[in-house]
Amino acid sequence: MDTSSKTAALLQKLLQFKTVNPPGDTAAIARFLKQQFEPLGAKIDLVQAPRADGPVHFVARLRGDGSKKPVLLAAHSDVVPVEPDRWSVDPFAGVIRDGYVLGRGAMDFKGGLAVFARAVMMLAENKVPLARDVILLSEGDEESGPHGARWLADQRWDLIEAEFALNEGGWIFRDGRGTARQVNITVRDKNTIVLRLTARGAPTHSAWPGLAPHTAIGRLIIALARLVAREPQPMMTELTQGYFAALSRTTEPPLAGWFHTLATSPDAAAREAAGRRIVEEGAYPMLWHALMRNTLAITMLNGGIKENVIPGSAEAKLNIRLLPGQGLDEAMAYVREVIADDGIRIDAPAFASLDEARADLHVRTNRPASSTETALYRSLKAHAERIWPEAEVTPALFEAGTDATAWRLRGVPVYGVYPYPLDNETMVRMHGNDERIEIAALDQGTDWVYSVLVDVAGRS
């Protein structure tokens, strides 16, 4: 067991708070963080969401001399639910095994919170003179709920306004030898829209299923089967072209050649074939699959009132992640074409109307990517190249959604990192069983983020 890592020790404590969302009760972990930061002279604010058992957002601020605008580090302390009987350890004990810290949130994103927190704490412990305020946000409602970073920005923008921000996002890829070969710093995210399919039919006795394809559940099953059987085609944007081109330089043949084809070929069939080979034989198949196309996942089903009744309605929710430039109309047109059933209703349940959903997506997809010409991006790149000298650093698209929207919508550049090198086995445990993060990777990430903060926030 490595007893020297202060970041791992902090992470162990963070994992012991059961911040599963829902309900997302993060009050206790916010109080714990307050106890860590107050003795260091940080100004602390705790912001309670308007729910009795709801999230508490923790904000710590180390004061600079005000000659530069603040830098923000944003992480979240809530985690997704667990299936404890499928874990080999207690998911809320912070167990260390074989050089890894295990627990729900170890990777997403209490590991990142521990790295960010330790880096900020080190500024105070080392008495680094600051030219700008350094703000640490531990956000309490990222995984599920209406009171996340966008709510906080609307309510208390004064607490989290900054010149630029660091958030969760880009991956640091390792090769088969454990060497970091690519550091991805995400400068924009895919946009998420949840669509609901509702099928209706005549309710009747379950003894009379002869019209099964025309019942609500029958129609819905046929529509969903068509969606599962069809895969959206690869689509390249300027950002993903650069990302896959970088992968062609940091991987070995034949994978490198397939990445080159995917990034550069004008032939759609060639890109599709290359994408298929990458997913079949690449080291990070799920990630690369998601970055080369819009994706659609059926995540919720609801139908039936009793085992002997054919119900009159059934519904499913589709979680759709869109590449930049894609909006609600493109998403709905794709679903309509594939299901081939005009009788199934499609709506966006998070919005009052499709027009509202369309407008929201339009704003999000048309925000420019965060600039790579800021002091924060340049420092992230320079110190990544120092710590991982065999890696190529590249701006990237994040395949999921993050808190970054709250700042990007206000014109604040946000850079996403999972601040630790990862292998595929660690990545696939995210939101899964025996989630983990390597102690050595935590320490490398802490070195990286601390050095960057000294660069961009310290007085020269």
Task: Give the phi and the psi of residue 186 in degrees, each rounded to 5.
Answer: -75, 135
With CA atoms as reference, report the closest residue to 301 among 216, 376, 188, 242: 216
Amino acid symbol at 457? A
Q: Which residues are within 8 A (CB) of 426 and not within 5 positions of it... i.e. 6 or more apart?
A: 100, 107, 436, 437, 438
Tokens at 74, concatenated: 């944003």
Across 47-56, 73-82, 153-162, least confident range: 47-56
* 3-state secondary structure at position 248: helix
Instruction: Give the containing element (helix H, strand E) for 437.
Output: strand 436-438
Residue 418: is its pLDDT beyond 90? yes
Instruction: Give the containing element (helix H, strand E) for 197.
Output: strand 191-200
The whole-model pTM stands at 0.91
Which of the four pLDDT bands, split at 50, 70 and 90, describes residue 144? confident
Say what the pLDDT of residue 212 is.
60
Across 282-286, 357-361, 381-385, least confident range: 282-286
Residue 333: is its pLDDT beyond 90? yes
Residue 1: is its pLDDT beyond 60? no
Instruction: Give the containing element (helix H, strand E) for 259.
Output: helix 255-264
Q: Could you give the CA distance from residue 49 to residue 55 in angstroms, rounded to a whole number?
A: 6
Q: Could you give the CA distance from residue 77 to residue 56 in angstroms, rounded to a whole number?
A: 10
Average pLDDT on 137-143 reads 93
Instruction: Give the containing element (helix H, strand E) for 72.
Output: strand 71-76
Residue 105: is its pLDDT beyond 60? yes
Residue 288: is its pLDDT beyond 80? yes
Q: Rg of the Cα trace of the chain?
A: 23
Residue 2: is its pLDDT beyond 60? no
Q: Could you give the CA distance from residue 304 to residue 313 in angstroms, rounded to a whole number?
A: 8
Quote the percentage of the chain above a pLDDT of 70.
99
Stronger pLDDT, 401 or 170, i.e. the higher one: 170
Report yes or no: 321 and 192 within 8 Å, Cβ to Cβ.
Answer: yes
Say what the pLDDT of residue 33 is.
98
For the chain, count helices (H), then strands (E). Answer: 15, 17
Tokens at 199, concatenated: 């099928």
Residue 211: is its pLDDT beyond 90? no
Residue 59: is its pLDDT beyond 80? yes
Residue 50: is its pLDDT beyond 50? yes
Tokens at 135, concatenated: 């703000």
Q: Could you give the CA distance from residue 202 to residue 314 in angstroms, rounded to a whole number?
A: 11
Which of the four pLDDT bands, split at 50, 70 and 90, describes residue 250? confident
Report yes or no: 21 and 143 within 8 Å, Cβ to Cβ.
Answer: yes
Tokens at 132, concatenated: 């700008």
Q: Which fold has domain 6-190+369-457?
A: Aminopeptidase (3.40.630)
Residue 66: is its pLDDT beyond 50? yes
Sign of CA pseudo-dihedral 86, 92, 96, 99: positive
Report yes or no: 309 and 205 within 8 Å, Cβ to Cβ.
Answer: yes
Say what the pLDDT of residue 424 is.
83
Average pLDDT on 395-406 reads 92
* 3-state secondary structure at position 342: coil
Kindly report, residue by residue over 186-202, the tens digit of the pLDDT: 999 999 999 999 999 88
Tokens at 23, concatenated: 């309900």
Cα separation of the two ends of the chain: 38
**Mean of the per-residue pLDDT values for the chain?**
94
Residue 246: is its pLDDT beyond 80? yes
Sorted by where each begins, the domain ranges of the chain are 6-190+369-457, 191-232+299-322+326-365, 238-291
Average pLDDT on 43-48 reads 97
Average pLDDT on 131-137 reads 98
Say what the pLDDT of residue 419 is.
97
* 3-state secondary structure at position 99: coil
Q: Could you give the CA distance from residue 123 to residue 121 in angstroms, rounded to a whole number?
A: 5
Say what the pLDDT of residue 298 is.
97
Q: Which residues are within 8 A (CB) of 280 and not within 5 positions of it... i.e. 6 or more apart?
A: none
Say what the pLDDT of residue 284 is.
84
Q: Could you give the CA distance from residue 439 to residue 429 in angstroms, rounded to a whole number?
A: 16
Average pLDDT on 341-352 reads 96
Average pLDDT on 110-130 reads 98
Amino acid symbol at 451? S
Give CA 277 to chain center in angstroms: 25
What architecture (CATH level 2) is domain 191-232+299-322+326-365?
Answer: 2-Layer Sandwich (3.30)
Average pLDDT on 144-152 reads 88
Say what the pLDDT of residue 184 is.
95
Amino acid symbol at 430? M
Average pLDDT on 415-440 reads 94
Residue 213: is its pLDDT beyond 80? no
Residue 177: is its pLDDT beyond 90? no
Report yes or no: 45 and 138 within 8 Å, Cβ to Cβ.
Answer: no
